[in-house]
Amino acid sequence: MTSANNKALVYRVYEAINAKDFAAMKELFTPNFVSHALEDAGIESGEEALKQASAAFPDQRFVVEDVVVEGNKAALRVTIHGVPQQPPPIIMEIFRIENGQVAEVWGAGTLRLPSDA
């Protein structure tokens, strides 16, 4: 895949996430996808995390601000809008792409969930 194809894939992933299009997400991620942040494999854990986040923040949407692609990896800076934290939280991620699908994701972010204290 070319850098342009990998960059387009990254944007399609976040379009599917924002639309909560789980069918599209299954096509964009490999069957054995690994999320290092969730410490889990398979798209199902990512779907569940998205459902829980959407329940907590129904207006949330992710905006891809920057993408840098090198080989089969894409580094992203994504802001999360529609959550009470200001300025909007940032996610930094690295996607490993395999045969036109996301195979692995590493990430860190600045989202702070409200405490119950």
Cis peptide bond prior to 89, omega within 30° of 0: no
**Which range is least confidently modeled, 30-34, 106-110, 113-117?**
113-117
What is the DSSP code string of 17-56?
HHHT-HHHHHHHEEEEEEETTTTEESHHHHHHHHHHHHHH
Domains and CATH numbers, the chain: 3-109 (3.10.450.50)
Q: Which residue has the tokens 């909560």?
A: 20
Q: Residue 35: how many CB atoms within 10 A of its CB? A: 20
Q: What DSSP character marks residue 110?
A: -
Query: What is the average per-residue pLDDT within 11-37?
Result: 91
What pairing do the DSSP bridges indicate for beta strands 101-109 and 29-35? parallel
What's the pLDDT score for residue 117? Answer: 41
Under a CB-based contact definition with an 8 Å cutoff, are residues 94 and 74 in contact?
A: yes
Q: What DSSP character marks residue 99?
A: T
What's the pLDDT score for residue 112? Answer: 67
What pTM value is reported for the model?
0.86
What are the pLDDT digits (tens) for 27-76?
Answer: 999 988 888 877 777 778 778 888 888 888 899 999 999 999 999 999 99
Which tokens go with 37?
Answer: 């942040």
Which tokens go with 20?
Answer: 């909560």
